[in-house]
Amino acid sequence: MVLCIDCFWLKCKKIKPSFDKDLFNADVEGSVYEYSMVLIQILMCNEKEVYEQSISAICQIDWPKDHFLAQVLDDSDNESIKWLIKAEVSKWSQRGINIIYRHHLVRTSYKAGNLKSAMSCDYVKRYEFVAIFYADFQPNLIFQPNHNFLKQTVTHFKMGDPSVEVTDESRDESQMAKSLAMEALTEGELEKEIERLTKAILLNLTSTIMHGTRASVYIKMKKLNTAIRDANAAL
């Protein structure tokens, strides 16, 4: 069973699942809880501003080290940035984290092509769950996972929680899908989207979704300080 978890959706929906904390109190060895094998994928493409924080956030997730593998899926075409990302991966690997760097040699189909290529690796079959994150969802700012993200989510799927529902909606029906679709917009189109969102926010100043969506647009425009202000309003 492969599960693609998008932390943006979880944050926007303000999902805070409850779970039996006693399951995690014991050490992994001899624990009554059997930890699942989880593959964590980070998509990157010339992410010079956020690669370090993103990799750090993933590597510090609270999950047994021998039960997860972090795949850094790099689509960068800038050689200097590729070497920076490789060095960061090497640093965490030397600290005992199961993490690998994988460069997308045939750059087709953008992120979808990068994911498809990574999932073709034989070792992927060992993993029961897959969590996918984008590098520009910065840790501690907007939509990167906190350290207990897996414990708050995987346990519900592992135990067959009937209250868990996963859906896939079109960009016209889902606010999250609309945000992801913005990646294909030009700079001029992003400016127009900012104007549209600003008008919508003026009509509803407490709109968490609108603030969060505008923050994601500002990130794509590399206006991080402005994005932080919107992120704080959304959280």
Q: Are 91 and 83 spatial neighbours (Cβ–Cβ below 8 Å)? A: no
Q: Which of 82-96, 130-144, 180-194 has the lowest mean pLDDT?
A: 130-144
116, pLDDT greater than 80: yes
Q: How many helices (H) and strands (E) does the chain have?
A: 9, 5
Q: Is 80 exposed, middle or buried (CB count within 10 Å of its CB: 0-12, 13-18, 19+)?
A: exposed
Are 213 and 175 spatial neighbours (Cβ–Cβ below 8 Å)? Answer: yes
pLDDT value for 162? 59
| Maximum mean pLDDT: which of 50-54, 61-65, 117-121 | 61-65
State how far the Cα of 60 lies from the Cα of 99, in Å rounded to an integer: 12
- In contact, 150 and 62? CB cutoff 8 Å: yes
- Global model pTM greater than 0.75: no
Decide the pairing of beta strands 38-44 and 68-74: parallel
Distance CA 102, CA 121 (A): 11
Dihedral, CA atoms, 155, 160, 161, 165, nearest 10 degrees? 100
Would you place residue 8 in the very low, low, confident or very high pLDDT band (cuts 50, 70, 90)? very low
- Report pLDDT for 117: 83
Helix (H) or strand (E) holding 146: none
Tell me the C-alpha distance between 58 and 40, whole Å: 8
Tell me the mean pLDDT in the region 51-72. Answer: 90
How does pLDDT run across 170-182, given as a tens digit for each residue? 544 555 555 555 5
| pLDDT of 97 higher than 90 | yes
CA distance between the termini of the chain: 31
| Proportion of the chain in helix, strand, coil states, percent, rounded to 5 | 50, 10, 40
More confident residue, 20 or 39: 39
Q: Where are the alpha helices (DSSP H) in the chain?
A: 7-12, 51-59, 79-94, 110-119, 149-158, 175-181, 187-203, 208-220, 224-234
Whole-number percent of the chain with pLDDT over 70 = 66
| In the predicted structure, residue 183 carries a pLDDT above the cut 90 | no
